[in-house]
Amino acid sequence: MSRPEDTLRRRSDRNGWLLSAPALALLVFAASGPLMIVLVYSFLEKGQYGNVIWEFSLDGWVGILFSRDIFDGTLNLADAHMTIFWRSVKLSLLTTLITFTLGFPTAWFIATRPPAQRALWLFLMTIPFWTNLLIRTFAIGEILRTEGLINTALLKTGLIAAPIQMLYNEGAVLVGMAYVYLPLMVLPLFAAIERFDMRLLEAAYDLYASRMQVLRHVILPIVKPGIVAGSILVFVPSLGAYVTPRILGGGKNMMIGNFIELQFGQGRNWPLGAALSMTLLVIVTVALLFYVRAINRSGSGGGSHG
């Protein structure tokens, strides 16, 4: 490489760093800074009325899995904490599965419409984002409540004699989260399916493949990046959901986000809340690493087939 080309490359690299400097500074001070404060708080003593005492302690991290007896100070497994973690992961996985089950045919339908109609269908999919999450959650509550749309319709048709209690349980939380996060699954799936070469379907059918074989061996492997992206976009916010479990769960079906808020509020245990926050961050990071690994595998697989 000649010297002028070397100089141009260094100048281009320097200009690139200068252009990205504001964004990097924002990430460091607005994102990494608060996270570092939370990390430091997780290793401190809790104050009597909230806040922290600046003395090193691992009680916050120990409190994630264990609870200390108030009489003899012995440690016991925190069953309630484990229940909250399990409920959060379970509902997040179920939300991801439900949104994929509903979102895949929806995305396929939109992607196979004529180009002039796709924009309209995508526009309709984004309408829920125009409304605040709190309002959308209350709307779901109005549908599921005892005097809501579903119970009213069932009572008028005579299918039930008394209203069914649909609110304030895990089912209501699951329905609410599936409704809220469905567009986050549909949009990445649509982007992947839109690039799908439909001639591959004709080739598969010409080779006497069944519909299930075409789905498993042709469609799903090719649109896998969209599936993984949509799953991550749904699973991550579902895991830290706060508004939906609080309203539709009625405070009886607490998830990690609600538990963290409780520690910083009424619980007055900031180190435990900080440790829980960092634990949630670790879980999300692992999910994102899984996403990157799956995408890399898809890329290398696609390259080898090509």
Show Cβ contacts of residue 69 under 8 Å, excluding neighbours closer than 6 positions: 75, 76
pLDDT digits (tens, 9 = 90+) for 98-127: 999 999 999 999 999 998 899 899 999 888
The arithmetic mean of pLDDT across residues 256-280, rounded, is 93
Instruction: Show the DSSP H helices in the chain as ranges.
Output: 3-26, 33-41, 59-65, 79-111, 115-126, 133-144, 149-157, 170-194, 199-206, 211-214, 220-222, 224-239, 243-248, 256-264, 270-305
Chain centre to alpha carbon of residue 140 = 19
The arithmetic mean of pLDDT across residues 162-191, rounded, is 93
The arithmetic mean of pLDDT across residues 245-267, rounded, is 90
Helix (H), strand (E) at residue 54: strand 52-56
Residue 304 pLDDT grade (very low, low, confident, very high; cuts 50, 70, 90): very low
Q: What is the pLDDT of residue 95?
A: 96
The Cα 36–Cα 53 span in angstroms is 17
* Homologous superfamily of the 77-305 domain (CATH): MetI-like (1.10.3720.10)
Residue 91 pLDDT grade (very low, low, confident, very high; cuts 50, 70, 90): very high
Q: What is the pLDDT of residue 306?
A: 38
Tokens of 205: 């059918």
> What number of CA atoms fall less than 13 Å from residue 54's CA on the CB side?
1
Average pLDDT, rounded, for the chain: 87
Q: Residue 67 above 70 pLDDT?
A: yes
This prediction has a pTM of: 0.84
pLDDT digits (tens, 9 = 90+) for 131-159: 889 999 999 999 999 888 899 999 999 88
The arithmetic mean of pLDDT across residues 179-206, rounded, is 91
**Who has greater pLDDT, 101 or 130?**
101
Q: What is the pLDDT of residue 27?
A: 79
Q: Residue 175 above 90 pLDDT?
A: yes
